[in-house]
Structure 1
């Protein structure tokens, strides 16, 4: 039998299982200004504005470092002027860095020749733009196949691939239409199909849904999440919309004035904002839809093993005036709850702990949003159990802990 001091805490599982870093950026900086001027001084970087020889330079990206794992949906978020779109364009050198290092799959992107850079853009990295960037005189199918056309893929192969991409985004029946005949949401689906058709490993998405109506935007978010679940591309997604970032991102990097303010999961940013700027930024977010059971899980006050004696469990329950304790097997899998009256009977009959079990409890997985748990948190005789996919007990979710997480983000305790 274990008490909180003896129980090793289980880590919260991330929403997706990301692989090794695909994109690695180290101290990236971008300065806009007269081309004859050198990289800015430290003082200029600190102030973001400076003057040399009567001219001015603007520091758009200021000493930014981050990495993106294989299969991760990484969101760069910030208000207008934060540098997020400039940073995104630096990843495929549409904007050349002033200084710093950028690697993709270990290759130094800055050192690529023009031919190697074209190959990177045609095969490994594809971009989805805010305003669709479709050719109005080409059909939907031709637009979807355009990246393969540039790559000089044989016609039959590129049309087969483009048709697959259109089916994937739900536009198979509009292949012969022209962009002008489509709604905004459909045109953005074509842009996404074009990126998917090239089979690029990395998708760069620059506020792709911001021009859409709210309902269509939600549909496109749903589509992207479904595609990411099925295809597991590496995606860098830029947005100024906090709710969109919280909904989509495996991790979120918050930018302000060209610098990184905080990087973390949605729950981490909500629970422990790095500064007042981030705290103000997230103050209006519905935390119950972002925070999950795993972010608020607590260790049970009493946790029993199936080999423990009922008398010992009953004594510990008496010390904390509780009516039940969770019981796990030798692998930590949840077996049930030992109720106090059943424990009392077992001490008289010398029964085993397994004979004291009942199912008067509720359970949830660690990735369940708190919004789905309000009706369950008070139902059992013990706090709601938080389990993993294998049925192992990660901890419990008392009502008080959930309320504290929703009202004061700095009180959330991470498992």
Structure 2
């Protein structure tokens, strides 16, 4: 059973139950509090009778229940946490380091203090390696920053079932964020000077010790979470203080993005890759020698500089940025066993291989179409070498 975190309000109620006088009713700031008001039944059997108190472990008498009546007349019943644990037959504990009330078994998370990732240094390189046996995962780790500096947006998303990666871009800099299960993987980087690695300093991120490397305009920030997930940030042209602030905001993503699909694509284009992780979905299609990409997310997206053209996509206000310069094709050629293959696809050992240039959102020859769904608040971006009319047609048939 995974650790369940009980809110501070519950523990506050427990503290109140221990310290207040055991009168029948007291007045709260905006309502009324009544003690020992309710019966409690488990599986049809009354286990606590109204009007009775409970003897705590220290021998003190505390209320068996608390009834709070708010100013509007609404009623809410509260029970002490220890009573809940006894009624449900689960163990109770308290982790003073994290100020967490623990109910039930806690073996699912790394509460033992075991370190899953080992740091190694070789000159100007540093690596974090997990030697834990591979564990099959059906879902990738879903964490993302809740705060970014003004003007920053999600640029790209990638990953597998064991790791997720997001790239963010601001006016002048970039941030790459990666979170990875401890499944035998390795994450590392090389810098220019050995002194950068030697001068690595430690900072605290969300109560965990993190390694901070700085060299010129480049900054790395790495730490292991309580459940063994490795968190890795690399920032370019962003201050260490701002990167630490972004890291402090990292939190698990709740909920799922809608499974939207493109129901139409231009002739000659085939789906190359679809990456869905956390609060973002990215899908890339390959054409004869280039590509287009759809990215939609619950967070703002990176958009081109300059003044866009306003237009409509299914009645929704959208923005279109024309490419800075015409796209130049490289022919999309492919060679198999030393021989040129005509077209953009070939079958090798029963596997269909496609070739084409995957253009990034910052390429000079890329056109961009962006809009925000007014109902869901989801941000959309289509970018590629296709013309405006084709991008709009694709957008209007996303369902």
TM-score by length of 2: 0.26
TM-score by length of 1: 0.25
Greater Rg, structure 1 or structure 2? 2
Higher strand share: 2
Higher helix share: 1
